[in-house]
Amino acid sequence: MQTTLPVALSAQLAMEKRLDTIANNLANVGTAGFRSEEVKFESVLSRASARTVAFASDGQQYISTRAGALTETGNPMDMAVAGEAFFAIQTPKGTVYTRDGRMQMSEAGQLQTVNGEPFLDVGGAPMEVDPNGGPIHIAHDGMLTQAGGQLGAVGLFRMPAGANLTRAGTSGVIPDVAAQPVVEFNDDRVAQGFVEGSNVNPILEMTRLIEVQRIFEQAASMIQTSENSLNEAVTQLGASK
């Protein structure tokens, strides 16, 4: 039994999935706080034939938590995380975690994302300030002050080791286990006046795109060779009868 055809087809399916993730990553190179999507491949062994055959799996997708570059804006309504923690926001889907710290203030003084979703404090409550109280200051530990008075702390949350993340919106993620609030600010802190960019490396993604195209072409060549070999065998067997 020929195994070239199914193995090559499994490779093409895997590369098609990889191509989709690369395209989405490249489309979000300029998206603040965007986390790139990666695919982890492994071989799937089959003993359906007399020989052990290794197929390419369709790939396990996961969201990278690698940090993006911080850009100083000087805008006090911008904040970023220096470290691995996330901000928390309130959405129709529930609590979502994001690295996009661009804020706006509602008429009532609620601190919201650019999409109008409230930022949450460490206890999960929306953050509010006095809309007429003057500039706000955010310390490294997230403590928010206005006119010399403390108004609460912006919540920072870490994803537990091994947590699987699901994308929610453009820059948001939802873990499959509860995120843990940050209580010590040695490794994670808030940087006011900064915005974190996407963690997508466009040069690396373009390199991967070229690699995927080459592998896809190689798999197509294997399929064509397999078909030619099969056709030749059928022709020779038919002529020998």
Domain boundaries, the chain: 4-61+200-234, 70-196
Average pLDDT for residues 41-47, to the nearest whole number? 47
Task: Look at the alpha carbons of 55, 56, 62, 65 in this order and tell me if their dihedral is positive or negative.
Answer: positive
pLDDT above 80 for 221: no
Q: Single out the residue of 39, 128, 33, 49 nearest to residue 86, CA to CA.
A: 33
Spatial distance between the Cα atoms of 85 and 81, rounded to a whole number of angstroms: 7
Task: Look at the alpha carbons of 95, 99, 101, 102 in this order and tell me if their dihedral is positive or negative.
Answer: negative
Give the per-residue pLDDT at 48. 45
- The continuous run of DSSP H or E covering 217 comes out as helix 202-239
φ, ψ of residue 119 to 5 degrees: the values are -75, 145
Q: Where does the pLDDT of residue 49 fall: very low under 50, low under 70, confident under 90, or very high at 90 and above?
A: very low
Q: Single out the residue of 195, 198, 199 nearest to residue 103, CA to CA.
A: 195
Q: Where does the pLDDT of residue 149 fall: very low under 50, low under 70, confident under 90, or very high at 90 and above?
A: very high
Whether the Cβ atoms of residue 99 and residue 76 lie closer than 8 Å to each other: no
* Residue 48 CB neighbours (<10 A): 10
Give the per-residue pLDDT at 21. 87
φ, ψ of residue 213 to 5 degrees: the values are -60, -40
pTM of the model: 0.78
Q: Is 227 helix (H, G, I), strand (E, B) or coil?
A: helix
Least confident segment among 25-34, 45-54, 64-73, 222-231: 45-54
Average pLDDT for residues 102-127, to the nearest whole number? 95
Give residue-wise pLDDT tens across range 157-166. 999 988 999 9
Q: Single out the residue of 70, 69, 71, 42 nearest to residue 57, CA to CA.
A: 42
Q: Order the strands of the 94-98 sheet from edge to edge.
A: 165-168, 172-175, 94-98, 86-91, 156-158, 180-181
Average pLDDT for residues 16-34, to the nearest whole number? 89
* Residue 113 CB neighbours (<10 A): 23
pLDDT above 80 for 179: yes
